[in-house]
Structure 1
Amino acid sequence: MPSLDLLATFLEIYRAGSLSAAAHRLGVTQPAVTGQLARLEEEIGEQLFVRSRKGVTPTPRAAALASRVSLHLDGLRDALGSSEAEPTLRGTVRIGGAAEIMTLRVLPALAPLTGRGLYLRAAFGLAQDLLNDLAADRLDLVVSAIRPTHQELFAVPLVDEEFLLVGPPSMARTVDADRLRTAPADALAALPLVAYGEELPILRRYWRSEFGHRPANPVALVVPDLRAVLAAVEAGAGISALPRYLAEPALAAGQIILLHRPEAPPLNTIYLAVRRGGRPTRPSPSCASGSLTRQPDGKGSERRWRRIYVTA
């Protein structure tokens, strides 16, 4: 899954029409923008822009990508508040999500807001438990791996997680390459699994999506943290399916091996979920009072978080 930084840079290039203009908008150097674009194109495996003296022209793939991500990136910017004027923030935002994506993606992105006075309280847990807390007004935002079914909640797609089937090099060498190409599930059937949960939630989805049935492999280890799953795979405990953003550094370092190359890797949509209506208010320990206001987008009764701002 490409990082939000790469997608945000891509969108600025697409809208500005040139690398230099995008760099100016982002407040970074042109080589930095060029480097981020190159990384994104490498991850996607396709050229996104045709360069010329007049700037850049988006390819059809770029147009499709911009159409898919622009609404979500703009919505996330609105939800987190524009930093252009750098206003002082006051109040508390209670946000929940899975420990892995919160630790590696969400909290680093939100960290600058704490320097402007916002107080963040993060909660880790399973998606359904966190959505229940959101519905009960114990959280304000949830980054959820499942779409909420509560009538009082509303969610917008945030980003798609792409899953990769990986294993340690020592195990990969035991798999017959020809059989792996023609009958991958059979070729991998003897290899032990490192799972995120007893019901093999991610592995089950991968096997059903790509092979048409549940995995029949023996299970070597179950641990409810994808970072621990990765560490166990690196140590040789077994094979597993992991999000690209988590697996990619270890793949690049040769600590794990990609075992299967589907035409389109399985995806899981991550949602940003909030309560419909209402005006949650939680005072920050550092201020007397605060509030978070949700604004309707004007499209019928549907509401989404257009902006989060905090007032005294």
Structure 2
Amino acid sequence: MEALNLIESFIQTAETGSFSAAARRLGLTPAAVSKNIARLEAHLGVRLFHRSTRKLTMTPAGEQLWADASVPFTSLQDAFERAAQHDGKPSGVLKVSMAVAFGREYLVPLLGEFLQRYPDIVPDWHFDNRAVDLIAGGFDAAIGGGIELTQGVIARELARPCVIVAASPAYMAGRPMPAHPSGLAELDGIARRSSTTGRVRAWTLRNQIGEEALAECRIRMIFDDPEAMAHAAMQGLGIAFLPTPHAAPWLESGKLVRLLPGWHAELSPLTLYYPNRKLLPAKTRVFIDFIVGAFRERRLAARFDAR
């Protein structure tokens, strides 16, 4: 098993490009990973990485070993995992990334049913509004939008959410409902700052016949979280441009009303990401099937599509 541990440290370092990232995936210290690589190099009699204070790159020998060993090693990991399953049932720690509010509102309520079906799986769910590196982070799956598709990652579309304009009935009381995006200019707005660029988001709305219009309002406040925007809108503080997963519960309860029902802004599809492996671990496979089935049974795709 020692040789497998050395190979695993090498493969994780090759995939992530650093000892630190490999260490996080393996639950080791960077020093321990570096030591494993050095022992493997000594055993093989070749250098696998060029090391510098700024960069870690593979040597030609390292590139060759990675090409020859990565696929067989993954197959061996799958074999070990299947052999370790309890009575053939899916088991193990399931590491999944998801956005904070979306995960809390839509995925945590599914957890009880999932655990009832698969009691030997231990969910390790990471709630983060930033896109993660599925491979470097060692995730079994991720649910979100706009994650870069790198080599070794598969994307399965779950729904096509969009951005709509909403406000509380109290805020709109006594105000005329706008018939066109230009009418938003007379209303107070709860704007959103992009966590990626730091800029205030500008939305171009589109209607069903393809007309487009820039949506502008009097910016009253700026948030970087859509859930907080929804709560501010429910307090009657202004209109908000909300992704449909964040707006849907409040629109259905009547705490928010939709403005410009024929208009929306495009968003990246809500997607389930997972590693491209010939033999997925059973825990990952059943999770994928469960989430896809839950979206279908609860008609979440239709609920999020406000076009």
Which range, TM-score by smaller chain?
0.5 to 0.7
Q: CA contact under 8 A between 1:127 and 1:146: conserved in structure 2?
A: no
Cα deviation 1:11-45 (Å, max 9, x = unaligned): xxxxxxxxxxxxxxxxxxxxxxxxxxxxxxxxxxx
Alignment of 1:151 with 2:141, yes or no, is: no
Q: Distance in 2 between matches of 1:147 and 1:120?
A: 21
The amino acid that maps onto 1:187 is G
The SS at the match of 2:186 is coil
Query: How many aligned residue pairs are there?
Result: 196
Q: CA contact under 8 A between 2:162 and 2:264: conserved in structure 1?
A: no
| Matches for 1:1-312 after TM superposition, within 5 Å | 88-115=89-116, 116-128=119-131, 130=132, 132=133, 134-173=134-173, 175-177=175-177, 180-181=178-179, 184-198=180-194, 204-205=202-203, 207-209=204-206, 211-213=212-214, 215=216, 217-224=218-225, 226-262=226-262, 266=266, 268-277=268-277, 292=283
Cα deviation 1:109-160 (Å, max 9, x = unaligned): 23323242210011122352x2x1x120431101021253312311011122
Q: CA contact under 8 A between 1:166 and 1:242: conserved in structure 2?
A: yes
- The change in CA–CA distance for 1:135 and 1:193 in structure 2 (over 3 A counts) is farther
The SS at the match of 2:163 is strand
Q: CA contact under 8 A between 1:148 and 1:273: conserved in structure 2?
A: no
The amino acid that maps onto 1:167 is A
In the superposition, the TM-score normalised over structure 1's length comes to 0.52
Q: Distance in 2 between matches of 1:168 and 1:259?
A: 10
The amino acid that maps onto 1:93 is L
The SS at the match of 2:97 is strand
Q: CA contact under 8 A between 2:184 and 2:216: conserved in structure 1?
A: no
Q: CA contact under 8 A between 1:229 and 1:240: conserved in structure 2?
A: yes
Q: CA deviation at 1:96?
A: 0.8
The amino acid that maps onto 2:235 is A
The amino acid that maps onto 2:221 is A
- The change in CA–CA distance for 1:307 and 1:220 in structure 2 (over 3 A counts) is closer
Q: CA contact under 8 A between 1:155 and 1:273: conserved in structure 2?
A: yes
Which stretches in structure 2 are left out of the alignment for 5+ residues? 1-86, 292-307
- The change in CA–CA distance for 1:306 and 1:185 in structure 2 (over 3 A counts) is closer
Q: CA contact under 8 A between 2:205 and 2:263: conserved in structure 1?
A: no
The amino acid that maps onto 2:239 is I
Q: CA deviation at 1:234?
A: 0.5
The SS at the match of 1:123 is strand
Q: CA contact under 8 A between 2:190 and 2:221: conserved in structure 1?
A: yes
Q: CA contact under 8 A between 1:203 and 1:241: conserved in structure 2?
A: no
The amino acid that maps onto 2:127 is F
Q: Distance in 2 between matches of 1:166 and 1:273?
A: 30
The SS at the match of 1:106 is helix
In the superposition, the TM-score normalised over structure 2's length comes to 0.53
Q: Percent identity?
A: 17
The structure where strand makes up a greater share of residues is: 2
Q: CA deviation at 1:193?
A: 2.4
Superposed CA RMSD in Å reads: 3.6
- The change in CA–CA distance for 1:307 and 1:168 in structure 2 (over 3 A counts) is closer
Cα deviation 1:270-304 (Å, max 9, x = unaligned): 110112227788xxxxxxxxx75669xxxxxxxxx
| Structure with the greater alpha carbon radius of gyration | 2
- The change in CA–CA distance for 1:272 and 1:176 in structure 2 (over 3 A counts) is same
- The change in CA–CA distance for 1:227 and 1:126 in structure 2 (over 3 A counts) is closer
Cα deviation 1:208-266 (Å, max 9, x = unaligned): 44543363541413142x32221110112221122444434433443222111116775
